[in-house]
């Protein structure tokens, strides 16, 4: 597997564009993105678990019910959520794209991100949809920027790999910085691939990969209303169609997990106000579910996150999070280590503290990528979760989000 350029536009038959249409006040910020496949593609999606859902999710669910789509339209600056005419606006967005591309409006995935509860004015989109379509090309960066809200950096990646001797490509773009919590987050992720695969297997691969990637990310404990991960697979690589869970499926799945893991870490690292990327690795667990629960509890703990911000090796907060996670494990067998590019240090063994050099621990924790390594010593299962530290700037950003 090789990392390649052009992100969401790397796969054969895909183009993208991002422009400023006027939804956002700042003209320097793009706010409307479009991704288009040359031909109709197999489509799969995973959505937020929040009971309050953005209008675009309801429209997208209906549009991809047949397992196919050809384009993705997304705006930033307004979530189109909790609005009386929300679904009407989301449908209109699809109709505008369909008219310009001369495709069915039901073959379009629609998404929105931004402020909740403010009506989305369709006019800026309507007035600029032709500009957006005319801008279609291979500038994946413009797509990445157009879906950003409080994100500080664009998040995209593409890889190439071989399936039975045929070169295939898979690209992804994501946004997400705040309202990030396991079981989807305030994030939008769009994936494109030229792999030829049955729709049912595409949905299975996306859901399974999401459980080990995006559902293992937490920034602040808030689960958003508009979360969506969508993938289009147009089959233009011309590999033999993947119809069973064989070696070809495994190759595709591994590439998907690689791309989604990269984007998950990018989202966690760019958490609002964050200075550090945190990774919690739980190993030697009795079950995968227990490993996942513990990893997510630790990475979501405000006390753990603030300790990491202060470079404080307060391992007791980690055991505390494990203790209230609700899983049945033997605390007296647990081991905890902190790791970064400056080294690794053991801080807890057999559920109790050990003597360690505080100065060395602080040096390790002052780096911007910290690993919290937990061994339960009660099995052979493992899981990883990603998050970030909790800083003063998180409060500042969210205290005037609508300003």
For 360, the enclosing helix (H) or strand (E) is: helix 358-365
Distance CA 395, CA 403 (A): 14
Tell me the two tokens of residue 274.
Answer: 């964050």
Q: Collapsing DSSP states into helix, strand and coil, what is residue 303? A: helix
Q: Which residues contact 113 (CB under 8 A, 6 or more apart)?
A: 74, 75, 76, 77, 79, 147, 149, 175, 186, 188, 226
The residue from 113, 149, 150, 186 that is catalytic is 186
CA dihedral 239, 202, 31, 124 (to 10 degrees): 100
Q: How many CB atoms lie within 10 A of CB 217?
A: 28
Distance in angstroms (rounded) separating the CA atoms of residues 49 and 46:
9
- Give the separation between CA 369 and CA 356, rounded to whole angstroms: 21
186 classed as catalytic: yes
- Counts for the chain of helices (H) and strands (E), in that order: 11, 15
- Number of residues assigned to the chain: 403
Active site residues: 186
């Amino acid at each position: 597997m090789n990392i390649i350029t052009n992100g969401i536009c790397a796969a054969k038959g895909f183009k993208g564009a991002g422009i400023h249409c006027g939804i956002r006040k700042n003209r320097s910020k793009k706010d409307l993105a479009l991704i288009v496949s040359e031909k109709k593609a197999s489509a799969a999606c995973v959505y937020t678990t929040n009971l309050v859902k953005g209008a675009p999710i309801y429209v997208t669910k209906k549009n991809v019910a047949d397992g196919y789509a050809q384009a993705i339209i997304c705006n930033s600056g307004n979530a189109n959520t909790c609005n009386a005419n929300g679904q009407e606006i989301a449908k209109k967005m699809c109709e505008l794209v369909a008219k310009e591309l001369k495709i069915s409006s039901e073959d379009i995935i629609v998404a929105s991100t931004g402020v909740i509860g403010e009506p989305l004015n369709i006019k800026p989109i309507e007035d600029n949809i032709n500009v957006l379509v005319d801008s279609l090309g291979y500038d994946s960066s413009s797509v990445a920027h157009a879906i950003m809200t409080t994100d500080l950096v664009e998040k995209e990646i593409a890889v190439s790999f071989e399936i039975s001797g045929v070169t295939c490509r898979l690209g992804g773009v994501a946004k997400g910085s705040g309202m990030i919590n396991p079981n989807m987050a305030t994030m939008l992720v769009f994936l494109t691939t030229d792999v030829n695969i049955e729709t049912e297997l595409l949905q299975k691969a996306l859901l399974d990969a999401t459980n080990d990637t995006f559902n293992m990310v937490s920034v602040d404990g808030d689960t958003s209303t508009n979360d969506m991960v969508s993938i289009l697979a147009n089959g233009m690589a011309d590999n033999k169609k993947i119809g069973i869970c064989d070696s070809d499926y495994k190759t595709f799945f591994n590439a998907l997990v690689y791309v989604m893991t990269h984007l998950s870490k990018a989202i966690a690292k760019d958490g609002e106000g964050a200075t550090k990327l945190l990774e919690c690795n739980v190993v030697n667990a009795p079950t995968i579910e227990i490993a996942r629960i513990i990893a997510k509890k630790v990475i979501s703990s405000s006390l753990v996150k603030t300790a990491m911000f202060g470079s404080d090796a307060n391992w007791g907060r980690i055991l505390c999070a494990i203790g209230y996670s609700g899983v049945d494990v033997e605390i007296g067998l647990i081991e905890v280590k902190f790791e970064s590019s400056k080294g690794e240090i053991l801080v807890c063994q057999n559920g109790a503290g050990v003597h360690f050099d505080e100065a060395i621990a602080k040096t390790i924790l002052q780096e911007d990528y910290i690993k919290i390594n937990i061994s339960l010593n009660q099995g052979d299962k493992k899981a990883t979760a990603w998050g970030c530290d909790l800083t003063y700037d998180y409060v500042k950003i969210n205290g005037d989000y609508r300003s």
